[in-house]
Amino acid sequence: MIGLRAGISIAIAVVLCAALAAIGFAAHSAVERTIVPAIAAQAESVGRSAAALIENAVTAGVPLDKLVGVNAYLDGLERANVELADLKLVTPDGRILGHAGTPPADPDPPTVITSVTARSGIPLASLIITIDPGVVSSQVHALLVDVAFIGLVSLLVALELVALVVGASSTEALAALEARVRALSRGRLWLHTDAAEKSPLVMPIDAQVARLHERHAHAREAAERRGDTGALVDLDAIGARFGLGAVHAGENHAATIIRPALFLFMMAEELARPFLPRLAGSMATPDLNIGRDLAMSLPIVVFMAVVALSQLPFAVLSERLGRRRGFVLGAAIAALSYVGSALTDHFGLFLVSRATAAIGYALVFVSAQGHVVDLSRPQERTAALAVFVRAIMVAGLCGPPIGGVLADRLGDHAAFLGSAVLAVLGLLVAYFTMPRSQPLTGGAGVGLSDLRAALGAPRLAALLLGCALPAKFLLVAVCFYLVPVELQNQGYSAAAIGRLQMIYPVLMVIGVPIAAHFADRLNARAAFVTAGGLIAGSGTLLLLVGTSPVIVALVLALLGLGQALSIAPQSSMVAEAARHVPGGRSAGVLGLFRLIERTGNATGPAAAGFLLAVAGFASASTLIGLFAVAGALGFALTGTGRRKADSSGPTALSSEGTAS
């Protein structure tokens, strides 16, 4: 049975897909109407310029058939204009005075003819320029691919923001109605307690179910007064079968409420992923005395390092400010930082803007996560955090292609203005949708003693240092830094890079819940963690075969698959280990887990920049992959894969599916 919210989402998807198909068809027609004339106009401009130069030479007294360097000149025009396939200078009697290029295989290619005339107006020759239809088709195809990806991303954005459009109260009412219909379809007549219990959609159902509960309770009381044991047994059996006398806790909507704001803010940061190394490299001047590869990695290093250092203190700060105030403040800081990144061409100031953006990012992240944890019961926390994860992962799916298109069409700096707009939108949505929370003054951070206690267990240390650290190190180094730099060096646009970077979040969105389910069902979390690390790390070995976009795509796919297998079981094992740390220091384990992951985020691009300069793309990626493989094998050899260490409650999804 499809739920009401799923049905609404499917209906929205169908309507949007139909609209996007119509837009795509119109865009195809518009592209063909505009690109072909534009290329023809450019060919005419080239022809007029060349004809004018030849006419000037003839006017100066040089005979047309005595012109020197015509072939070299036409060769230069052909190399400078990729859309021109063939150029010929032909006299009226058919003699070819100059030729460059190769005629295309197309039987009827577009041709532009420009006349070369004497001062008296007598035709001297014709410059025949043949346009390459393949170049025209490739440009049309590139624009249509951009349109298609923007359409797909628009669909994902629309589905992600359904809760915002419908409204929090309506979302709760639909969820409550869906829960009641599902329960009735399974023959469950239990009472429901949720925030929407007084909604007009569910009040009639609740009233009828409450009457049945009252009649069952009265019948049972009457049987007790009569001492009718047989009737009591029958009534209890009916109650157990249909849920009479039972109360079902309603779905928690803490994550649903914050999801639109979190999605918008996370997508603001994701916009910069495809072009950030390129922009940093363009701003690094020779007087900085650092290599270009290191300069391209520094903004990522600075951002990740500040997020890592801010995570623990900001967890306490968020409690003291209140979750909504912390989110709004962090989003405001990040928005101002994005504006600063858009306005500066100075490398040092750009690094400062990235550092302040990281401060805002960290504050938003811990505030949003704290909001979900604060407003969800322990048994609901897994599902709530799963919603939290999906919002971040879908943002990682939508941001890079949009950012790549913005950078290619408007420029890298203008794309940062898009990030600022999204951050402000996230701020406004959070302000108007998040509930007010009371600041807490008793929060305490994680101390050194907590961290020492967390590292006191060798198996836990192997999990953290052999799996958690290399996973983030590999992700940020390869996916966020090395791949964009390599594809940029191969001549690919930021939009194309952004499309390739979608592979990782797509596999994470699809694979994480599936892997979490089977890891619990098979009671094999440690095996999933080990297998995930081996798959993600060994995938980089493919780069030794070649570095074409197809191979890069396979590497990213294996990275996404491997981390989808390992991320949820890994988080669950850490959470289980935290509960068994003596002295009530579970917060130390969780804090150390986050700190180690962020350390991998921060050190990954710095190491990748150094290795790229020393060993090249393929070798650098392979060495980092082997580091992840070694960590996974080390974890397996510690004995944490034993079934005894693998037994606990349900897998706790965390928000660690992304780089931050």
DSSP 86: E
Task: Report the alpha-carbon distance of residue 436 to residue 406 in Å, rounded.
Answer: 36
Residues 607 and 515 in one domain: yes
Indicate if the pLDDT at residue 422 is higher than 90: yes
User: What's 490's domain CATH number?
Assistant: 1.20.1250.20
Residues 513 and 638 in one domain: yes
Q: What angle do CA 652, 655, 153 make, to 5 degrees?
A: 125
Q: Which of 400, 369, 371, 398 is nearest to 653 (CA)?
A: 369
- Specify the residue for token string 């290795």: 611
Indicate if the pLDDT at residue 250 is higher than 70: no
Residues 18 and 108 in one domain: yes
- Partners of 247 in the β-ladder: 191
Residues 574 and 468 in one domain: yes
Tens digit of each residue's pLDDT (9 = 90 or more) over 25-55: 776 666 666 666 777 888 888 888 888 888 8
Residues 506 and 548 in one domain: yes
Q: How confident is the model at residue 146 (pLDDT cuts 50, 70, 90)?
A: low
| DSSP, residue by residue, 542-577 | GGGT---HHHHHHHHHHHHHHHHHHHHHHHHHHHHH
Last residue of a domain, one of 200, 219, 249: 249
Q: Using an 8 Å Cβ cutoff, are 111 and 36 in contact? A: no
What are 73's two structure tokens? 């000149």
* pLDDT score, position 655: 40
Most confident of 147-161, 165-179, 424-438: 424-438
Paired sense of beta strands 191-193 and 247-249, if any: parallel
Tell me if 566 is assigned to some domain.
Answer: yes
**Distance spanning both ends of the chain, measured CA to CA:** 36
Tell me if 221 is assigned to some domain.
Answer: yes
Q: Using an 8 Å Cβ cutoff, are 429 and 267 in contact? A: no
Indicate if the pLDDT at residue 489 is higher than 90: no
Name the strands in the sheet holding 96-101, side by side, starting at the edge strand that comes first in the sequence. Answer: 96-101, 84-90, 123-131, 111-117
* pLDDT score, position 648: 44
Residues 92 and 21 in one domain: yes
Tens digit of each residue's pLDDT (9 = 90 or more) over 123-139: 888 888 888 776 666 66
Tell me if 388 is assigned to some domain.
Answer: no
Residues 179 and 45 in one domain: no
Size of the chain in residues: 660
Task: Report the alpha-carbon distance of residue 627 to residue 629 in Å, rounded.
Answer: 5
Tell me if 27 is assigned to some domain.
Answer: yes
Indicate if the pLDDT at residue 119 is higher than 70: yes
Task: Report the alpha-carbon distance of residue 558 to residue 22 in Å, rounded.
Answer: 35
Tell me if 420 is assigned to some domain.
Answer: no
DSSP H stretches of helix in 271-291: 276-283
Indicate if the pLDDT at residue 200 is higher than 90: no
Q: Which of 444, 416, 443 is nearest to 299 (CA)?
A: 416
| DSSP, residue by residue, 437-461 | ----S------HHHHHHHTTSHHHH
Residues 214 and 88 in one domain: no
Residues 105 and 188 in one domain: no
User: How many domains are there within the chain?
Assistant: 3
Task: Report the alpha-carbon distance of residue 464 to residue 471 in Å, rounded.
Answer: 10
Last residue of a domain, one of 216, 249, 282: 249
Give the residue numbers spanning the domain of 118: 14-138
Task: Report the alpha-carbon distance of residue 500 to residue 515 in Å, rounded.
Answer: 23
What are 165's two structure tokens? 């459009």
Q: Per mean pLDDT, which range of 149-153, 448-452, 553-557 is the poorest?
A: 448-452
For residues 246-251, give the mean pLDDT.
Answer: 60
Task: Report the alpha-carbon distance of residue 22 to residue 20 in Å, rounded.
Answer: 5
* 282 three-class SS: helix
Residue 287, Cβ neighbours under 10 Å: how many? 7
Q: Using an 8 Å Cβ cutoff, are 587 and 316 in contact? A: no
Residues 174 and 232 in one domain: yes
pTM for the full model? Answer: 0.66
- Specify the residue for token string 């992923």: 273
- Specify the residue for token string 């939108």: 425
Residues 172 and 134 in one domain: no
Task: Report the alpha-carbon distance of residue 457 to residue 483 in Å, rounded.
Answer: 36
Residues 587 and 541 in one domain: yes
Which residue did the predictor score with more confidence, 450 or 484? 484
Task: Report the alpha-carbon distance of residue 59 to residue 62 in Å, rounded.
Answer: 7
Tens digit of each residue's pLDDT (9 = 90 or more) over 500-523: 888 888 888 788 778 877 877 787
* 111 three-class SS: strand
Task: Report the alpha-carbon distance of residue 327 to residue 318 in Å, rounded.
Answer: 8
Tell me if 404 is assigned to some domain.
Answer: no
Q: How confident is the model at residue 233 (pLDDT cuts 50, 70, 90)?
A: confident
Tell me if 60 is assigned to some domain.
Answer: yes
For residues 128-154, give the mean pLDDT.
Answer: 71
Tens digit of each residue's pLDDT (9 = 90 or more) over 329-356: 999 999 999 999 999 888 889 999 999 9
DSSP 650: S
User: What's 97's domain CATH number?
Assistant: 3.30.450
Q: What percent of the chain has pLDDT over 90?
A: 12
Tell me if 354 is assigned to some domain.
Answer: no
